[in-house]
Amino acid sequence: MTRVAAIDCGTNSIRLLVADLTHRDDGSVWLRDVHREMRIVRLGQGVDATGMLAPEAIGRTRVALTDYVAIMRRKGAERVRMVATSATRDAGNRDDFFAMTREVLGVEAEVITGDEEARLSFIGAVGDLPPDDGPFLVTDIGGGSTEFVVGTWDGVKATIQAAKSVDIGCVRLTERALPDDPPSEEQIAKARKVADDVLAEAFDAVPVAQARTWVGVAGTVTTLSALVLNLPAYDSDEIHLSRLTAAGIRDAARRLLTVGHEERAAMPVLHPGRVDVIGGGALIVQSIAERLFSETGITELLASEHDILDGIALSISEPPDPE
């Protein structure tokens, strides 16, 4: 058994997973959560417009990462991997960010490509699913990008058939096309057009018609599930592997886009850091659903609480080489 720590730093949030990994005789790896935490730091604040990471965003991330290091030490993590995704890939001053992470964490954080982000999300998402439900389409809707990946899972390892990352996410779409709160019908229509156009790149690159099951990961999808389920509070156990229909997705998106900030903030399942961008994320999910449901035999979205964070942890599961 190895205790590892995985850190995923995205455009909107930074998340930590400390987990015990046990290697089984059949070659599979069992992951047991020790500690899981998420904080909204909005690292990608303004990156789409300026091409630079804001100093205050780097500062917010430093505070969260410093706390995570203390947690990792208390929990006795033996190995750590930190990956940074869309916001840092796009930033002209990303060296400032990585100097900070190196100072706080003590090891290099990694900028991963969109394709690697998609692969890790897939590995994390399918581990709880019956292999016969594949091939799987996994979509990861983040703050600055959305990943599509199609592949199979045999219960031990995942085989990726195709993956594509495109530059649209809840933060990026909100900053680009939804300036008012609540947005006007014209702004919603523009945002849908932006989302449709960018997502078309993913649909063209990934053979979604081969998939039998659509799995959605990350906070936009799980929040939509919590709304559809009408939960009194966010409940990961209830949300994990719940199913969303086209009508449920459409109704939740409409609800989020037609009320103002205060009304969304009062929704008990909505994390405060998602209040101002969840409408953009919902539009992305709706855009994917409408095209996917019309072009394939898939009729529902399976929401998963397991995602790239689990994939990062599993990617460091091999024992270290002996000295």
DSSP single-letter state for residue 306: -
Query: Can you give the pLDDT at residue 243?
Result: 97
Domains of the chain plus CATH, in order, are 2-114 (3.30.420.40), 129-304 (3.30.420.150)
Segment 161-168 shows an average pLDDT of 91
Segment 70-89 shows an average pLDDT of 90
Segment 284-306 shows an average pLDDT of 95
Q: Helix, strand or coil for residue 86?
A: helix
Distance CA 288, CA 282 (A): 10
Query: Can you give the pLDDT at residue 322?
Result: 39
pLDDT tens-place string over residues 242-277: 999 999 999 999 999 999 999 999 999 998 989 999
> What strand order describes the sheet that includes 242-244?
158-166, 146-153, 136-141, 213-217, 301-304, 242-244
Asked, as a colleague might, if the bond just before 130 is cis with ω within 30 of 0, I would say no
Distance CA 37, CA 311 (A): 15
Q: Helix, strand or coil for residue 39?
A: strand
Q: Is the pLDDT of residue 174 over 90?
A: yes
**DSSP string for residues in 118-185:** HHHHHHHHHTTS-GGG-SEEEEEE-SS-EEEEEEEE-SS-EEEEEEEEES--HHHHHHHH--SSSPPH
Which structure tokens are listed for 53? 């990471």
pLDDT tens-place string over residues 42-63: 898 888 788 899 999 999 999 9
Which structure tokens are listed for 210? 């081969």
pTM over 0.85: no
Cβ proximity of 122 and 138 under 8 Å: yes
Rounded to the nearest integer, the mean pLDDT of the chain is 90
pLDDT tens-place string over residues 114-138: 778 778 889 889 988 999 999 999 9
